[in-house]
């Protein structure tokens, strides 16, 4: 789940929640507008989400991936206490590199993306610390900001949970872009925004039906060599 901006004339952030299907495609779960990005707003939104989930008798999510938003994470602990929270690894690396840029001498162009070169250059910047004080500052930053949350982003921990390999929020950000492509401009009224959301959902629903048909067809071809299973799916 993640917020997006510049989607209505009232400058209200739009929260979007997406899920991952059995064929690794995305589907929309919920949308919500709020005047502020604080604990009260997130609590209200998540309470509505939980209420809808329970009314529809849908199992609560096992994993929710977010950015490092303190108010959102606090609200999630209250509303979905049994859900494993995970932090977007792309945002972590980006924030670490930005902080390294502020403290270290050396060029880090191109390091804000999750690539081997970016990680290498960031580590080289750490290695080139001009003095012990700056070295200890960045180590302290990592130790206090991220290490306490290692269970929510380190691979050894997150792979214990059913996250379908999703460790970043890029899927929901991609959906943000798809929605904005349907808006005439960033200052639409709420009716126009609702219409664009509904149209996007319907288009995605149609595409998901196609994706599922392709997935099932592929599995039937694969299982044709097994008579027992073939009888079950015929």
Could you give the dihedral angle defined by the CA atoms of residues 193, 27, 174 and 44, in that order, rounded to the nearest 10 degrees? 60
Domain boundaries, the chain: 1-88+161-202, 89-152
Q: What is the pLDDT of residue 109?
A: 47
The Cα 135–Cα 151 span in angstroms is 25
Q: What is the pLDDT of residue 126?
A: 64
> Cα 143–149–155 angle (5° rounding)?
105
Q: What is the pLDDT of residue 227?
A: 62
> Cα 195–187–184 angle (5° rounding)?
55
Closest CA to 91 of 163, 177, 137, 149: 149
Reading the chain (234 residues) residue by residue, the pLDDT tens digits are: 999 999 999 999 999 999 987 777 888 999 999 989 999 999 999 999 999 999 999 999 999 999 888 899 999 999 999 999 998 887 777 776 666 665 544 444 444 434 445 445 556 666 677 888 877 776 777 777 777 888 888 888 888 888 878 888 888 998 999 999 999 999 999 999 999 999 999 998 888 788 777 766 655 555 566 566 556 655
User: What is 1-88+161-202's CATH topology?
Assistant: Nucleotidyltransferase; domain 5 (3.30.420)
Q: What is the pLDDT of residue 209?
A: 81
């Amino acid at each position: 789940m993640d917020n997006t901006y510049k989607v209505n004339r009232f400058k209200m952030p739009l929260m979007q929640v997406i899920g991952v299907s059995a064929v690794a495609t995305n589907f929309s779960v919920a949308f919500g507008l709020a005047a502020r990005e604080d604990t009260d707003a997130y609590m209200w939104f998540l309470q509505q989400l939980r209420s809808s989930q329970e009314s529809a008798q849908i199992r609560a999510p096992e994993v929710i991936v977010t950015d490092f938003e303190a108010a959102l994470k606090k609200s999630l602990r209250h509303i979905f206490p049994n859900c494993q929270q995970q932090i977007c690894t792309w945002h972590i690396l980006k924030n670490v590199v930005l902080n390294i840029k502020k403290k270290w001498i050396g060029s880090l162009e191109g390091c804000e993306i999750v690539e081997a070169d970016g990680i290498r250059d960031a580590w080289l910047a750490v290695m080139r610390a001009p003095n012990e004080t700056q070295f200890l500052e960045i180590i302290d930053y990592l130790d206090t900001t991220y290490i306490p949350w290692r269970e929510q982003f380190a691979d050894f921990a997150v792979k214990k949970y059913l996250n379908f390999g999703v460790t970043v929020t890029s899927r929901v950000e991609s959906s943000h872009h798809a929605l904005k492509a349907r808006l005439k401009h960033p200052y639409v009224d709420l009716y126009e925004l609702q219409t664009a959301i509904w149209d996007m959902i319907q288009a995605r629903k149609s595409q998901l039906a196609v994706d599922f048909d392709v997935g099932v067809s592929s599995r039937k071809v694969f299982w044709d060599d097994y008579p027992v299973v073939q009888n079950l799916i015929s």
